Amino acid sequence: MSWVEIAVLLFVTIGPVRASLVYLGLTKSADAELKRAIAFRTVTVSTVICVVFALVGAAILAGLKVSTEALLIAGGAILFIFALNLILAEDKDQASDGPPPAPSLDVATFPLAVPLMASPHGLVAIVAIEATLQGVADAAIFVALILGVMAINLGFLLAADKIFAKIPPAILKIFLRIVGLLLCALAVQLIIFGLDGLGLIPNPDIELNG
């Protein structure tokens, strides 16, 4: 995968959209200071989790005796299911029947950081990508991309009120469908890499008609 593809994959799996929407609902009655504190803690916790997964992914694989190809195929399948949910699932009302819970810093860790921002499918993607990297330089670039996405996440949370106030719900739904379609393609690519590593399909770099 190219760095552009990896950046896009990170953005759609650990990006800000879903966490920002829930953040808006959970902090409606919070003052500006508490909103900022929740935003910073959410991103801090998510960053630590994602960077740890990025740095020790290979060790996890070795300890569990899981091959890179198996992880790529499993990760691609999970990502594909998540992407189909984005494209096909009916919109669900996030509001509950009762009054919303009182805002507190606790919501920063759960559900905002985990499982919304540092999402399970995002962590699978991080470990799968990490398994394909070679050398310290690649690992450093990968961590930098994660930090970049988290910086975008923080900006989205801090400006969530202004951002979503100007975006019509219909446009947001279209955006989520496009993201889901793109994620489907990237998930299939992960599976192709895994099958290619097992020698089950021709090398995609070789033209079949050549």
Residue listed under structure tokens 């690649």: 138
Whether residue 12 is contained in a domain is answered as: yes
pLDDT tens across the length of the chain (210 residues): 799 989 998 998 999 988 888 898 889 889 999 999 999 999 999 999 999 999 987 787 778 887 878 877 887 888 788 778 878 865 554 444 455 556 789 999 988 998 889 987 788 889 889 888 888 999 999 999 999 999 999 999 999 988 878 777 678 778 778 877 887 887 888 888 888 888 887 765 544 344
Whether residue 112 is contained in a domain is answered as: yes
Whether residue 208 is contained in a domain is answered as: no
Whether residue 78 is contained in a domain is answered as: yes
Count structural domains, the chain.
1
pLDDT of residue 199: 85
Whether residue 203 is contained in a domain is answered as: no
Whether residue 149 is contained in a domain is answered as: yes
Whether residue 42 is contained in a domain is answered as: yes
**φ and ψ of 104, to 5 deg:** -155, 170
167: left (phi over 0), alpha (psi -120 to 50) or beta: beta
pLDDT of residue 207: 46
Residue listed under structure tokens 């399970």: 120
